[in-house]
Amino acid sequence: MGIEVAGLGSLLLLALNIWAFVSIINSSTTTGKKVLWCLAVLILPVLGFIAWLLFGPRSPTIEA
């Protein structure tokens, strides 16, 4: 049972990191900051994702 739970957790983390990459790339920040955020999420998947979630660049919001 432990292997299945770890596998699901890893799959969830992978999906969240992919979402973070897409959001970072679509943000309006400079290219250098995008690269640094992508490296942070890539090298430290859990801590990098949490840091991006709290402090990272945001995608432009669509205003009607």
Domain assignment present for 50: yes
Domain assignment present for 45: yes
> Could you report the per-residue pLDDT of 24-60, keeping only the tens digit for each?
999 888 999 999 999 999 999 999 999 998 998 776 6
Domain assignment present for 42: yes
Domain assignment present for 43: yes
CA proximity to 58, closest of 46, 47, 33: 33
pLDDT at residue 6, rounded to an integer: 77
How far apart CA 25 and CA 16 sit, in angstroms, is: 14
Identity of the residue numbered 19: W
Domain assignment present for 62: no
Domain assignment present for 63: no
Range(s) of the domain holding residue 9 = 2-55
pLDDT at residue 56, rounded to an integer: 85
Domain assignment present for 20: yes
CA-only gyration radius of the chain, Å: 14
Q: How many domains does the chain have?
A: 1
Q: What is the DSSP letter of 30?
A: -
Angle, in degrees to the nearest 10, between helices 45-55 and 2-26: 40
Domain assignment present for 24: yes
